[in-house]
Amino acid sequence: MVKHCLLLEHGCEKTHNDHYRHAAVQAGLALDRLGWASIQLDGGIEKVMEKVEGWFRQELAADSPPVAEEVGLEALRLGLLSAGPVAAPVAEQLARLTKMVVKAGGVVVAPENTGLLSTLRYREQVLQEPTVLPSLAYGEPFRQPGFHLMETPTEHWVETLTGLAATGVEIIVAYIGQQPMQTHPLVPVLQITADPAVAATFGADLDLVLANGADDWLEQILEYVVSTLQHEYIPQLYQQGNIDFQLTRGLLGVTL
């Protein structure tokens, strides 16, 4: 999903640029494809901003225009989560969506704290065992196609969304059963609902209100997913600037 990447350090953090250089080598990444900048080593905020902007200008100027390619569901990398109550018909259609993508060879990642996993319809259709442990740590990139659960140390929406986006998903579908939530600055988040009260109150902030019969909902969701991935649609809350980003401190982390 990322073609041009620059790593910016302050200079005194634990996971500084040298740490990531070693991690990149271990992961088999070419270091010359990455940009590197340091607030301390490069002379302060203003100078490092000039360096960062210059690096991206140079990379983009030397790059060729992107080439559009038609693909199927096997190429879809989908994040799936919910906020608030999830009615049984909604859970059933989201289970259909999950199975359709996975069967085609794509990827679906859900956080372990999503209420969707508490619905009987979704669990019965997607999970083969009554108790399933996460296959991904918080923010860990997936390496195999299929259905994945991501570990979530907290219940914090923004922390969950930040970790989910880091797994490598290219778009996130969030079912809203109460009120719309903050969206992600990098990965598009489609916020959908089938609740008439939620739609009446927050219609301007939602991307899709599921209408007609439940059998039509899957097609409606896929239409918005495709339109967003083709850069034809921009999620409502992203347009409004209602975005947030926060890494989890984990189970033992504290703020001093």
For position 179, which CATH number holds?
Answer: 3.40.50
256 in any annotated domain: no
Cα–Cα distance for residue pair 48/40, rounded to 1 Å: 9
Same domain, 77 and 96: yes
Q: How far apart are CA 129 and CA 42, in angstroms?
A: 53
Counting the structural domains of the chain, the total is 2
135 pairs with which residues across the strands? none
**In terms of domains, do 33 and 97 share one?**
no
Q: What is residue 61's predicted lDDT score, i.e. its pLDDT?
A: 94
In a domain, 251, yes or no: no
Per-residue pLDDT 10s for the chain (256 aa) are 678 999 999 988 778 999 999 999 998 989 999 999 999 999 999 999 999 999 999 999 999 888 888 999 999 999 999 999 999 999 999 999 999 999 999 999 999 999 999 999 999 999 988 888 999 999 999 999 999 999 999 999 999 999 999 999 999 999 999 999 999 999 999 999 999 999 999 999 999 999 888 999 999 999 999 999 999 999 999 999 999 999 888 887 766 6
Regarding whether 30 and 131 lie in a shared domain, the answer is: no
Do 81 and 165 belong together in one domain?
yes
What is the domain extent for residue 119?
Answer: 73-240
Same domain, 31 and 158: no
- Is residue 97 situated within a structural domain? yes
Are both 77 and 37 inside the same structural domain?
no
pTM of the entire predicted model: 0.89
Name which of 123, 122, 128, 148 is nearest 137 in CA terms: 148
Residues 45 and 109 in one domain: no
End-to-end CA distance of the chain: 35
- Looking at the fold, whether 127 and 165 belong to one and the same domain comes out as yes
Q: Are residues 95 and 151 both part of a single domain?
A: yes
Asked if residue 38 is part of any domain, the answer here is yes
CB of 40 closer than 8 Å to CB of 12:
yes
Do 23 and 150 lie in a common domain? no
Amino acid at 225: V
55-79 b/e (C-beta count within 10 Å ≥ 16 → b)? beeeeeeeeeeeeeeeeebebbbbb
Same domain assignment for residues 97 and 204 = yes
Are both 78 and 36 inside the same structural domain? no
Q: Are 147 and 103 in contact (CB under 8 A)?
A: no
